[in-house]
């Protein structure tokens, strides 16, 4: 795994240790700051294919340099609730899990793990659809294992 970090945040070791038990051959991780004026606190994308990388295997993370911590992030769960609206239609809601991150390093790690799950799906030949809940659960499980969250 090659990590290209354009920020002042020291995170490379934590990323490598978090996925030490998984294949990372050919994976490139880019960490940058969000563009000036961005209202996002962080964004992450896994690219299956790019103009310069036919094989994809690129995770790009962008963090806002003006974040104020702690930051709360919601993760999807596999739990659902059902309610009936006033017309008798059944509505299904997915429960969310809210986690608080006290520093940039933990926030980057969480989003990296989510995107890393998409990378694993790619190298295992799974399609890219309907994987957000699975990726969130993967990230939460590893964050618990690393005792970043409880």
From the CB of residue 86, how many other CB atoms can be counted at a distance below 10 Å?
A: 5
Domain spans of the chain? 2-145
Place of tokens 């992030």: 73
Residues in CB range of 86: below 8 A, 6 or more apart: none
Buried b (16+ CB within 10 A) or exposed e, 52-71: eeeebbbbbbbbbeebeeeb
| pLDDT tens, residue by residue, 100-112 | 999 999 999 999 9
pTM score, whole prediction: 0.90
What is each CA distance from 19 to 3, 41, 88, 119, 146, in whole angstroms? Answer: 13, 23, 47, 12, 11
* Count of alpha carbons within 13 angstroms of residue 126, beta-carbon side: 12
Tell me the pLDDT of the chain (150 aa) as tens digits: 999 999 999 999 999 999 999 999 999 999 999 999 899 999 999 998 888 888 889 999 999 999 999 999 999 998 999 999 999 999 999 999 999 999 999 999 999 999 999 999 999 988 767 789 999 999 999 999 999 998
Tokens standing for residue 7: 């920020």
């Amino acid at each position: 795994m090659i990590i290209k970090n354009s920020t002042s945040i020291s995170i490379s070791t934590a990323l490598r240790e978090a996925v030490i038990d998984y294949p990372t051959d050919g994976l490139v991780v880019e960490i940058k700051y969000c563009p000036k004026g961005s209202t996002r606190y962080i964004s992450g994308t896994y690219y299956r294919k790019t103009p310069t990388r036919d094989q994809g295997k690129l995770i790009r993370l962008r963090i806002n340099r003006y974040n104020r911590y702690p930051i709360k992030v919601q993760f999807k769960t596999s739990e659902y609730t059902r309610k009936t609206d006033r017309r008798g239609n059944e509505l299904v809601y997915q429960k969310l899990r809210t986690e608080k991150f006290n520093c940039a390093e933990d926030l980057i790690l969480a989003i990296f793990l989510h995107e890393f799950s998409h990378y694993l799906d790619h190298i295992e030949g799974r399609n890219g659809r309907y994987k957000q809940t699975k990726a969130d659960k993967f990230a939460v499980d590893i964050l618990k294992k690393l005792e970043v969250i409880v």
